[in-house]
A and B are shown apart, each in its own frame.
Chain A
Amino acid sequence: MRPRALPAPAKVRWAMLVTLLLAWELVPRTGLIPELLLPALSSTLKVLYQDSHIYWAALLVTLYEVALAMLIACGGGIITGAVVGGIARLRDLLLPVFSSLYAVPMVILYPVFTAWFGIGSESKIAFAGIYAFFPVMLSTAAGIRTIDPQFILAARSMGATLTQQVTRVIIPASLPAVFAGLRLGGALAIIGVVVSEMLTAAAGIGYLVTLNRTILDSARVFAALLMILVLSVAYYMLARAIERRVVVWQSVGRAPKAAQAEGGPGVPVAAAA
């Protein structure tokens, strides 16, 4: 039990956010940290407004790359994960191999992709797609295994045909795993695209970060940074909201827990980069 004197956790979180934003404005203003290191929030918002057409154009490029990378990572990852996780033979054969390969820092493959596909959007899509593919696949494979075999047994003993078993039992029961995969895949696709745009690119928000960093225009760096922050948090909130609506009947939180216990990547995966 929490002692009465402590304020509610949600309030503390809001207070921390407000303090952070205030500090962002006031600390540089008072000169405690030079504006080169940390431009004030108001200067950041001002350049974001002044250059809004540049930032919108960059955002569109980034979103286009993220969407295609997500298609590769989530489409490929969820299907492969469902197949590998669902078929016992493939699971024993391949799952340990995939989790070993997962140890490789994917970012070292990015120079390969730029050499193959050039510095345009293609290399970012390929890199972010592969970067997000493995975690999505591993988490879906782990999630699929948590489907209660009793469900299928019950359906079978009531005389369900194979089609009925798939559409009425297996697909609804695997939805939590699929949505967890979508959430993870989108977050990782954003990370992958931003990282690759920062490394070698000619467009996109990540490119704006690097471009303005090299000319020491800190306000524009932070404007791009703020946009990426908002983009990734917004995606996460959206994914959670959809997930909650669709899988409301499932006992919430069961699938991710099981995924972690299986040694698959649970939440920590998204922390890369």
Chain B
Amino acid sequence: MSRAQIIMTRLALLALVLAAWELLPRHQVVNPLLLPPLGDVLSMLGKLLLQARVHEAIGVTAAEVVVAFLIAVPLGAVLGVLIAESDYLGEVFKPMLFYVFSIPKSIFLPMFILAFGITFAQKVAYAAFTTTFVVMISAATAVESVKQDYILVARSYGATRAQILMRVYVPSMMPLLLEALRISMIFNFTGVMIAEMYASRTGIGHMISGWGENFQMPELFAGVILLSAVAVLFNEAVRFFEARCSAWRT
């Protein structure tokens, strides 16, 4: 299939899904109380986006996501570089990381609530905690992806440490670093959402779980569409840069 054909088929599939979402509930094939027609959901989304309390919730959630990300990325990156660059630390900690990954981090939420109360700090701390592990392993993978040959060549031509860092490490790691950031953001966003849905007084995650409990399906689906759209758009934007940065590799 050519590029154009692929895109056309994808658009056709998307149109099919959206049409089914609109038409099936409209014609009572599925219960519109459980799945409101797409049109109703979108008009509800429009209404919600004009409300001040929704603006406030979006602001809080966005701030939590950004602050948690700013904490987790440098912290995880430093730890990841340490276990990648030091053979000994790598040998000690890498096998443990795999166990840590299979543990549901949400069970530690009660500890964050006890330590910070139900506050902004509790959500940020929990999200940063879950994200740090992801950043750590991605950073370690990125460092390890740098070919030793490149470093050897640079050294034998007399490159300084700073030059090796800026001219060898950074460009070779760039695509993987962007991928690391992208995946970390997915986990970071999920962490904030779980923390807000679990115990919160504000934020979009809190609103979504409230709408679910009160069976306000149009509001609930509008929230799901809004968050999904934000997440997918951010992800695609990073992937676009990722593709540009790795063009030279092949």
Contact = CB atoms under 8 A, between A and B. Distances in A.
B134 A107 contact: no
> Residue among A12, A105, A116, A198 with the most chain B CB within 10 A?
A105
A270 B101 contact: yes
Interface residues of A, number: 60
Contact of B231 (A105, A114, A198): A105
Contact of A105 (B100, B190, B209): B190
Interface of A: 1-2, 6, 9, 12-13, 36-38, 89, 92-93, 97, 100-112, 114-116, 187, 190-191, 194-195, 198-200, 206, 209-210, 213, 218, 221, 224-225, 228-229, 232-233, 235-236, 260, 263, 265, 267-268, 270-273
Chain A contact residues, majority secondary structure: helix
Top 10 nearest A-B pairs by Cβ distance? A111-B212, A103-B235, A9-B91, A187-B102, A105-B190, A191-B104, A236-B102, A213-B110, A270-B101, A194-B104
B101 A267 contact: yes
A14 B111 CA distance: 25
B151 interface: no
Task: Decide if the interface of chain B is mainly helix, strand, loop or mixed.
Answer: helix
Interface size class for chain B? 35 or more
B92 A12 contact: yes
A28 B187 CA distance: 32
B87 to A, nearest CB: 6
Given A100-B235, A267-B137, A229 B103 contact: yes
A208 to B, nearest CB: 11
Contacts of B111: 37-38
B13 to A, nearest CB: 8
Chain B CB within 10 A, most for which of A116, A187, A228, A271 = A271
B221 A104 contact: no
Nearest to A190: B104
Given A104-B231, A114-B212, A225 B107 contact: yes
Interface string B70-108: 000000000000000001100110011111111111111
Contact of B198 (A93, A101, A199, A232): A199
